[in-house]
Chains A and B, each alone.
Chain A
Amino acid sequence: MDITTQQTTAPPTAPGPAAPADKRAARGATRPGDRIFLGLSRGSGIFVLVLMAAIAAFLTYRASIAIGKNEANFFTSFEWNPSGVPPEFGIAVLVFGTVVSSVIAMVIAVPVSVGIALFITHYAPRRLGGLIGYVVDLLAAVPSIVYGLWGVLVLVPHMGGLYSWLDEYLGWTGVFAWEGGPARSLLTVGILLALMILPIITNVSREVFRQVPRMHEEAALALGATRWEVIRMSVLPFGRSGVISASMLGLGRALGETMAVAMVLSPSFDIGASLLDPGGGTFAQNIASKFNEATVMGQDALIASGMVLFVITLLVNGAARLIIARRKEYSGANA
């Protein structure tokens, strides 16, 4: 407000006719560059919201049509026959396949990624670290269709050893039992997804670990901490929320990965006890493999499943934010 008064009572050096000057003064002095940039950035912000709302509206509308006509339970049915009479379809198999393959991917990828990121930032000589970082960046740029090709042509035929080992030692659990079928199972998909999300998690974690303030590391060093203890006392706690965010980025990709999963998995609409048996399905894979030949009703049913994936992704992100916020006062950010 002070500024406004100063503007209106400004000395006669203020240019321009009196009326526009007053008007401008009421809003505080702005320059064209500021106004244009404000408009652009505000527009971009609103655009994101509108886009999000449009996607949600589209999904909800088409999905509600399909779900309205569905005769089976949408959440528990193992059927996928939306074009039948009566239409029957459910997402139980897809939820199971998507969640299980993504969880396998996370279990493998997160520890390995954190290990690579720590090695690059805290152990490797600078040049070696740079080289590894560069190779990991390259991995992130490999298209998923290439991962899919490699998965089906190389990974699937070579899983036999791991599968028989798992069957021999963990087969009694049922989860890792193997009857010698082709390795086009959720486990193989999970392993492939782990490789695909590894670069994202590694890259983000590496940046986070690199930003650990030198003084936090020196605090630990000066207390007589070994290198591992420095990492445990200052690097990992500082990077914790960043690693969670990185993992969520990776999980988002794993949940939504389409092409590579569709190529490796031999899809079926049932849930097997063993992760090693061929079969199963994921949301994205199911949509990709069925959409082209689907009727309008079939498309709407697929869209309904897509909406569930959308909601799962939102929930996962929300959960991650909760985890990060819960210990916010302890985070490195307010140091």
Chain B
Amino acid sequence: MAKRIDVSGLNAYYGSFLAIEDISMTVEPRSVTAFIGPSGCGKSTFLRTLNRMHEVTPGGRVEGKVMLDEENLYGAGIDPVAVRREVGMVFQRPNPFPTMSVYDNVAAGLRLNGKHKKSELDDVVEKSLKGANLWNEVKDRLNKPGSGLSGGQQQRLCIARAIAVEPNVLLMDEPCSALDPISTLAIEDLIGELKEQFTIVIVTHNMQQAARVSDRTAFFNLAAVGQPGKLIELDDTERIFSNPSVQATEDYISGRFG
């Protein structure tokens, strides 16, 4: 189920502004890769190119190749809607559908895929909520609105919604930045469990978090404001945080800038 991501020569633009330049990297299946770097370095933009969400922004466009195993996401004839069904995403702020119940939120993606059989949906909803470590907390209120949960629960609901459709890759854009430390811990534990099944890419501003949850870490940086963001280095997390090969990485993780 989990697939390898292989990016080569990727540029992303907002209108005529080049936001990230010439990024190439490989993300192994069943691993967690963290993106760190100062604000504006393009790590979120890059993440959004991996499920073709970047082009949803007015003026957003992408050059280069993103291979998911053997398939180029930007190849001719590829439907971005189909890509997004294969590459799930969790956002910075929990965004359950406010008009839907807990159950309907989790089932939303399945219904998009044309699954409407009650028994089938029941099974997947339970499995996904258990997978997101949320089942015990919400099993008695599945028909209550998802927006009534706490922030941390909402974020786990969003994770349940994303994994319900069994994507190959799970992208997380600062999934804990709006959460308290306890909810953050719950999500981090969850990420550790989810990597058994999924390829996970997580953007985070919290370097301890990157160190805790990820196997590999990519450091992004930009030369100056208005310059495109670039991938500085990608290595095993342990190595990035102990003995990075680039001076800028060392400066960043030791808090000398950013």
Please list the residues of chain A having a beta carbon within 8 angstroms of any beta carbon in chain B. Answer: 126, 213, 215-216, 218-226, 229, 233-234, 237-238, 240, 327, 329-332, 334-335
Contact = CB atoms under 8 A, between A and B. Distances in A.
A222 B97 contact: no
A218 B56 contact: yes
A218 B54 CA distance: 11
A211 B98 CA distance: 14
B148 interface: yes
Given A218-B95, A330-B99, A331-B99, A225 B81 contact: yes
Contact of A216 (B84, B95, B145): B95
A222 B84 contact: yes
A240 B99 contact: yes
Contacts of A334: 98, 147
Contacts of B56: 218, 221
Contacts of A126: 58
Contacts, number: 80
B128 to A, nearest CB: 13
B200 interface: no
B99 A219 contact: no
13 contacts: A215-B93, A218-B91, A218-B95, A220-B108, A222-B53, A223-B88, A224-B84, A224-B85, A224-B109, A225-B81, A225-B112, A331-B99, A334-B147
A330 B96 CA distance: 11
B58 to A, nearest CB: 8
B165 interface: yes
A213 B91 CA distance: 13
A225 B84 CA distance: 8
B161 A223 contact: yes
A222 B89 contact: yes
B82 interface: yes
Nearest to A328: B145
- Interface centre among B53, B145, B162, by most chain A C-beta atoms within 10 angstroms, is B145
Interface in B116-166: 145, 147-148, 158, 161-162, 165
Contact of A219 (B85, B91, B113, B165): B91
B108 A233 contact: yes
Contacts of A233: 97, 108
B99 A332 contact: yes
B138 to A, nearest CB: 15
A261 to B, nearest CB: 37
Contact of A330 (B89, B95, B145, B162): B145
Contact of A234 (B89, B97, B112, B161): B97
Nearest to A332: B98
Contacts of B11: none
Given A224-B109, A224-B112, 10 more contacts: A213-B95, A218-B53, A219-B95, A220-B108, A222-B88, A224-B84, A224-B86, A225-B84, A225-B112, A237-B99
